[in-house]
Structure 1
Amino acid sequence: MERGAGSNVEQTLRHLRAVDGTAPPAPATPATPLTLEDLYRTHRMRLVRIAMLLVDEPATAEDVVQEAFTGLHRNWGNLRDAAAAVGYLRTAVVNGSRSVLRRRKTARDYTPPHPTNARSAESLAMLTAEHQAVVKALSQLPPRQREVLVLRYYGDLTEAEIADTAGISKGTVKSTASRALDALQKIMAGGGQ
């Protein structure tokens, strides 16, 4: 980087800090002990601006800073001096911002273990009206009844194969299929379950 360009950037940053009101506060006089309230009043907005630059969301930045002050309150008795309190806050804000960014990345990278059961609009559009009504009615059945009917009529499985697949007895397959067909008929007739 050129020397002139570097000094321009530094001047701009100093100017922004002065305009923004984030210039470092004057040191406290040793005669007056610094309180948590003093630190909050003096450093809160500066820390929020730092967090804002790190996490890009005002509400999240506020939360990060609030957590930092809460942590400082919990550890107030363990601090060496007021300068250590400001350092603690700064470190807590940076670490809190990192945690937010890690959680965001984890959320973005998360893939649900099972795809949803919802059918696409394209697949529904290709079905006949009667077929659509059956699919809609099937979705209203209890899970086991729906499984048995789907395996029987869409999977073309025998009662024994359904029993093996679903982990139920052959008799349960028969009774569940019977109840499911009755319920499906009522749903299709508009009478509900």
Structure 2
Amino acid sequence: MSAGGIERAVEQTLSRLRRLDSRPDSSLPVPTAPAQPAPRTLADLYRDHRMQLVRLAILLVDEPGTAEDVVQEAFTGLHRNWSGLRDESAALGYLRIAVVNGSRSVLRRRRTARDYVPPHQVNARSAESLAMLSAEHQAVVDALATLPPRQREVLVLRYYGGLSEAEIADATGISRGTVKSTASRALDTVAKVMAGRPTRR
């Protein structure tokens, strides 16, 4: 598969997951619109963005239970800093950075402990989304799981999170140039994995 083909495959897979995870949850009541728009609250952000942040974390740490914990910690931190944030966009930026940093901490602890055991239970919504992927999309998700953490972060934030290079740079603490080169290396690695060839990191 060509480099452009691999990028399209990654983009299509993660965009498909984003759409699946953005579906309304039929188990939740549909909110009625107020007569006048009320200011956004922490509860609004939690309801509207939690699932996508959990998926983001799952794609970074490969473990649904841990991903849930990472997102809970991110919202806890947001609650502590709520009064200092100017608007919803700043709050979402804070949450993305917190999820990336929390995921990095998990991976550091996991490398140190060397005792990672996959969980027996998975988040039902996430499992449902993964089950709805085609075999080709599943292969892309499996290839993403082999990437070094920074490469995976960049691709997930770009194609699942829908972030620009500048936003990815802010979320990960690296330069825009590094974002671009990291994405290129990551796509090359995904291509090699999907072709069944040995990879170099």
**TM-score normalized by structure 1?**
0.48
Structure number with larger C-alpha Rg: 1
